[in-house]
Structure 1
Amino acid sequence: MSETRILTLVGSLRADSINRRLAEAAAQTAPEGVDIAIYEGLAQIPFYNEDLDVPGVVPAQAQDLRDAVAAADAVLLVTPEYNGTVPAVLKNAIDWASRPYGTGAIKDKPVAVVSASMSPRAGVWAHGDTVKAVGVAGGAVVESASAQFATIGERFGQVHPAEDAEALTQLGATVHELIAAANGTFVSA
C-alpha cells in the first residue's frame, strides 16, 4: 500500500498561532504510512481573480497550491474564526483549489475541518462557513472528521496542543477518519 498524503492548510498566518500548533499536533498523530504536510506559502497567493486564472499564466503561487492539493489524498483545513467567519487567506485557497469550475484540484477530495477560537463557541461559525465553501467548491467534506476547540488562549496559551492528551485524542480521531475517507474505507454512520 502506498503512503497516504494529507495536505494541511492553516488559516492563520502567524508563525506561532495556536491553529498552526493544532496542525502540528495533528501531524504528530499520523500513523505509519501517512504523511501530513503543512502547506507553506498561503500568504503569497494573490486573491482569486478570474482575470489571473488563465491557462499557462496562472500565478506560480496559486499553481503550486493547486498542484499540492491535487497530489494529496485528502486535505485538512485548520481555521481560526476571524470576525465570525473563515479567514480570507483560507477562503482564497479554497477558491483557487476549486478552479477550473467542476474540475478543480479539490473536486471530490476528502476534506476535514478543524476550527479553533478564543471564544467558548469553538469557531462554530468559521467551521460552518468553511464546510459550506468546501462543499460548494466540490470537496467531499468528512463531517465525522471535524474537531472544534474553544477558549484556545486559555487552553493552549502555555501548553502546546501536542502536550494535551484530550486534544491529541480529538486530532487523532480526525486524522483517522480522514485517512479512512482517503483510502475508501470510510463508513458513514
Structure 2
Amino acid sequence: MTNVLALVGSLRAGSINRKLAEAAEQHAPEGITLTTFDGIVDLPFYNEDIDGDTPPAAAVAFRDAVAAADAVLLVTPEYNGTMPAVLKNALDWGSRPFGASPLSGKPLAVIGSAFGQYGGVWAHDDARKSAGIAGAKVLEDVKVAIPQSVVRFAETHPREDAEVVELVQGALRALADAADERVAV
C-alpha cells in the first residue's frame, strides 16, 4: 500500500482544487491511499527563531504527516502567477531541519486547476522548483494543469469528469512507482 499525502494550496471550503484532491482520494487506484492534510492552515509563517528544540505543535504534526507518507501530492491553484503563500510556507516547514527534513528524497508531484487558460502552470512550475530545492524528489514529468476551472466545474465535481479522473490516477500511479523505487534502493 502506498500512502500519499495531499496538500491543497487553497483554504476555501468550496475550492476546485480541494475538490480535485477529493476526486484523487475517491478514485485512487488500488493499492494507493490518499489523505489530505488540512493542518497547513495552522502553520505559522516559517521563522527559524521558533523552529528550535520545541517547534510549534502544528509544525510537528505536519512534519510527522509528511514523514509517515510514502509520497506527497501538491494540489494548487494559481494566485497572481504563482503558488499560494500557505503552500509555500508548508514547503518551508517541510524542508527543515536541514539535512533531515521529512521532504528529503520524498517523491512529490504537483497538479491543480485554475481559472485561466493554462490551468495554473506557473504556480505548478514554482511549486515543483520550491519542492525540489526543499529536497523532495519532484516528478517533473507529471503535469496536470486543468484550465478554465470555474467554467469546467460549474456544474460538475471533478470526480465526475472522466478525463480528470484519468489524469489524477496517472499522477497517483507515478507517485506510487517512485515510492516503490525509493524503497527498492
| TM-score interval for Structure 1 and Structure 2 normalised by the shorter chain | over 0.9
1:35 and 2:33 are equivalent in the alignment: yes
| Structure 2 match to 1:127 | 124
Query: Among 133, 150, 154, which residue is 2:151 paired with?
Result: 154
The CA deviation at 1:87 is 0.2
Q: Distance in 2 between matches of 1:25 and 1:13?
A: 17
1:109 and 2:99 are equivalent in the alignment: no
1:73 and 2:70 are equivalent in the alignment: yes
The CA deviation at 1:102 is 2.2
1:145 aligns to what SS in structure 2? strand
Matched to 1:33, the amino acid is: G
Task: Give deviations 1:29-76, integer Å, cap 9, x for gaps.
Answer: 212332100001211110000001002x10000110000000000000
Indicate if the aligned counterparts of 1:122 and 1:148 stay in contact, CA closer than 8 A: yes
| Structure 1 match to 2:51 | 53
TM-score scaled to structure 1, two decimals? 0.93
| Structure 2 match to 1:98 | 95
| Structure 2 match to 1:136 | 133
Structure 2, unaligned stretches of length 5 or more? none
**Number of residue pairs the alignment of both structures matches:** 182
Indicate if the aligned counterparts of 2:16 and 2:149 stay in contact, CA closer than 8 A: yes
Q: Distance in 1 between matches of 2:65 and 2:56?
A: 14
Structure 1, unaligned stretches of length 5 or more? none
Q: Distance in 1 between matches of 2:177 and 2:33?
A: 14
Indicate if the aligned counterparts of 2:29 and 2:172 stay in contact, CA closer than 8 A: no
| Structure 1 match to 2:9 | 11
- Percent identity of equivalent pairs: 52
Q: Distance in 1 between matches of 2:141 and 2:102?
A: 22
Matched to 2:24, the amino acid is: A
Aligned-residue CA RMSD (Å): 1.1
| Structure 2 match to 1:177 | 174
Indicate if the aligned counterparts of 2:107 and 2:139 stay in contact, CA closer than 8 A: yes
The CA deviation at 1:143 is 1.8
Task: Give deviations 1:78-98, integer Å, cap 9, x for gaps.
Answer: 010001101000000000000
Q: Distance in 2 between matches of 1:59 and 1:91?
A: 17
Matched to 1:154, the amino acid is: V
Task: Give deviations 1:112-141, integer Å, cap 9, x for gaps.
Answer: 000311000210110111011001000000
